[in-house]
DNA sequence: TTCTAAAATTGAGTCAATTCTGTTTTTGTG
DNA sequence: CACAAAAACAGAATTGACTCAATTTTAGAA
């Protein structure tokens, strides 16, 4: 098994994702029929199911791109954080939030979140959990960095704190995507306000 | 519009909910077919859709009972909290968690949460958001009570703190229902560990 | 080049939620 | 009681995700 078959496979994958992403944006997740995605991608319905277990997994592939991009952007902040606990957290979480609607619309996020809770053991469900964990780990890494820099007390339970910060942000983000009218700036302000309580407690 | 019609209506509502609750438990949410619920409740499929907009709303009615019971149980703690911030939070959140699987299985919770994110504007989606808010308010009320008792610093932003505590618990609870193997005791321990950071920060 | 097994594709068929339309029941009025 | 309008009901028809048996394509050997 070498060239041709692998190339066609990769190509079909790409075509399916592109068709799906376009249709999800245009018609919404529910509105995008598998049949239409298949037609657009120039494959048959059966082929789509040969590549993805279900409709949710197609969305999953797109979500994964988005989150990986976010994780990547976050690395810079962890490596070189602002010299102030509040700003450091705000900068990292701000990056997450600002990048979040790049590939995905709010409706797509809603669907993705829904599927990940509904089917936590499906390929997508597990991938989504892994992405959440990766974000949590990045926040923990930032906290550890701040502790190393002497900006956060050493006796703070960084593990628990990282989870607390992530959980709160994530829940706020869920509420944000649930309301179409919600603005990013308000979300960031609200999170900053909550984190202020923590910042006061953990600073040296 | 008086007696008979209203009585029959209430009766059908009850029969549908009872049939659905039993079937959701036995066969799971996905496994419970509307047709079967209809047969069990001795109404037709069409009638069910006359009473509920969709399958999710039937589940919604059951979730609502559960959460209202939880809210009720929580009132006692708010009125008479343990004289220690950590214990007070632990007691209230403990009640939420311990009561949570009374009517609803983990699978039912997963479905309910999924639907509420997927369709935030459906009757159920809005009801679920309202229930979340009610829980947040109850936590805020507890914090206010503790402030009044002089157990929590007066200059703490109780509004933000209540949301922070709720968000964290809720997210932990979501993870809990996503893993069938997860135990309640571990959930409570993890939440206590996270709240310890807050408790240290807000105590007088 | 020819052939065969493995891999992949196809699209008609299945299944279950939801919708739709015609029928039945209830209500209030004369 | 008889009747017309309103409300509720029934179940057949629709819709769209997903499956599966039959067909086509590819890889590699002779």
- What pLDDT is attached to residue B6? 78
- Same-domain check for residues A143 and A110: yes
Compare CB distances from A194 to B113, B160, B197 and report the shortest one's residue.
Answer: B160
Asked if A40 contacts A53 with a C-beta cutoff of 8 angstroms, the reply is no
Chain A residues touching residue B193 (CB < 8 angstroms):
157, 160
Where among A11, A34, A51 does a domain terminate?
Answer: A51
The size of the A-B interface in CB pairs under 8 A is: 102
User: How do the pLDDT tens digits run along chain A, 204 residues long?
Assistant: 456 677 888 999 999 999 999 999 999 999 999 999 999 999 999 999 999 999 999 999 999 989 999 999 999 999 999 999 999 999 999 999 999 999 899 999 999 999 999 999 988 999 999 999 999 999 999 999 999 999 999 999 999 999 999 999 999 999 999 999 999 999 999 999 999 999 988 887
Which nucleotide is nearest to B49 if distance is taken from CA to C1'? C18
Q: Cα–Cα–Cα angle for A71, A74, A80, nearest 5°?
A: 150
* Mean of pLDDT over chain B: 94
Q: What pLDDT does A6 receive?
A: 79
pLDDT at B204: 76
Do residue A160 and residue B193 have CB atoms under 8 angstroms apart? yes
Question: In the prediction, which pLDDT does A7 show?
Answer: 84
The CATH number for A129's domain is 1.10.357.10
Measured CA to CA, the distance from residue A202 to residue A152 in angstroms comes to: 6
- Host domain of residue B125: 55-202
Residues A30 and A104 placed together within one structural domain of the fold: no
A22 shares its domain with A112: no
In this structure, the answer to whether residues B38 and B119 fall within a common structural domain is no
The nucleotide lying nearest A1 (C-alpha to C1') is D27
Give the residue on A whose Cα is nearest the Cα of B161.
Answer: A194
Q: Are residues A6 and A96 in the same domain?
A: no
CA distance A20 to A22: 5
Contacts of A10 (CB under 8 A, 6+ apart): none
Neighbours of A174 (CB within 10 A): 20
Q: What is the ipTM of this complex?
A: 0.91
Q: Whole-number Å distance, CA A2 to C1' D30? A: 20
Domains identified in chain B, total number: 2
pLDDT, residue A1, reads: 44
- The answer on pLDDT for B1 being more than 50 is no
A196:B160 CB<8 A: yes
Based on the fold, state whether residues A71 and A101 are members of the same structural domain.
Answer: yes
Co-location of B44 and B60 in the same domain: no
What CATH number has the domain bearing residue B1?
1.10.10.60
Query: Do A104 and A18 fall within a single domain?
Result: no
A89 and A186 both lie in a single domain: yes
């Amino acid at each position: 098994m070498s060239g041709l078959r692998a190339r066609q496979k990769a190509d079909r994958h790409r075509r399916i994702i592109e068709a799906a992403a376009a249709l999800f944006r245009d018609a919404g997740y529910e509105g995008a029929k598998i049949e239409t995605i298949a037609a657009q991608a120039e494959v048959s319905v059966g082929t789509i199911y040969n590549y993805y277990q279900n409709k949710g997994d197609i969305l999953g592939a797109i979500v994964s791109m988005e989150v990986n991009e976010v994780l990547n952007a976050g690395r810079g902040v962890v490596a070189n954080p602002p010299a102030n606990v509040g700003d450091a957290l705000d900068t990292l979480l701000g990056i997450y939030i600002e990048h979040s609607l790049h590939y995905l619309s709010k409706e797509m996020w809603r669907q993705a979140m829904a599927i990940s809770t509904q089917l936590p053991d499906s390929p997508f469900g597990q991938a989504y959990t892994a992405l959440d964990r990766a974000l949590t780990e990045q926040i923990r890494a930032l906290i550890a960095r701040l502790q190393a820099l002497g900006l956060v007390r050493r006796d703070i339970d960084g593990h628990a704190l990282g989870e607390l910060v992530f959980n709160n942000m994530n829940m706020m983000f869920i509420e944000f995507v649930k309301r179409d009218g919600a603005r990013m700036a308000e979300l960031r302000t609200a999170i900053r306000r909550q984190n202020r309580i923590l910042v006061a407690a953990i600073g040296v």
